[in-house]
Amino acid sequence: MATFRLQVVSMDGLEYDGEVQRIKLRTIHGDLAILARHMNYVTAIGMGTCTVTMEDGTERHAACIGGMLSMMNNHCRVIPTTWEWSEDIDLERALAAKKKAEERLAESNLEEIARVSAEAKLYRALVRINSANHHYN
């Protein structure tokens, strides 16, 4: 299968730079898959598990939250706000964050801003748990 160059650069630095067959992730408009020779394209990234099909056909998964993706002249750049390869996710920590967010949401007199913050934390924890489960299963 044809490949293209993928660079993933997060706030922590270069996460990946190499040839891949496909990248599939969630954008703000829905799920998107990029293959070799995809038209030039730019979009904002949503929250979800990203699947990267490597040059040899194996798959790697990552929690990908926010940022931008550009595909220009068969070169894809992903600049996420948060990027964690599934094998690097601390599952126990993600489960604890989920529990804490759920407890916060269960409070009866929660102000709107606190509720929105707790919902975002819960969703981030769920993305990290889902991504980690690709590694542990």
pLDDT tens for each residue of 62-95: 999 999 999 999 999 999 999 999 999 999 999 9
Burial-class residue 58 by CB neighbours within 10 Å (0-12, 13-18, 19+).
Answer: exposed
* Class of the domain covering 4-87: mainly beta
pLDDT at 30: 95
Q: State how far the Cα of 60 lies from the Cα of 50, in Å rounded to an integer.
A: 8
Q: State the pTM of this model.
A: 0.89
pLDDT digits (tens, 9 = 90+) for 111-128: 999 999 999 999 999 999
Instruction: Give me the percent of the chain exceeding a pLDDT of 90.
Output: 91
Burial-class residue 136 by CB neighbours within 10 Å (0-12, 13-18, 19+).
Answer: exposed
pLDDT at 137: 61
pLDDT at 110: 85
Q: State how far the Cα of 115 lies from the Cα of 97, in Å rounded to an integer.
A: 15
Stretch 39-45: mean pLDDT, rounded?
96
SS3 127: helix
Could you state, in order of their start, the residue ranges of all structural domains in the chain?
4-87, 89-136
Type of residue found at 7: Q
Q: Which of 97, 69, 95 is nearest to 81 (CA)?
A: 69
Instruction: Specify the CATH number for 89-136; select among 1.10.10, 1.20.5, 2.40.50, 3.30.450.
Output: 1.20.5
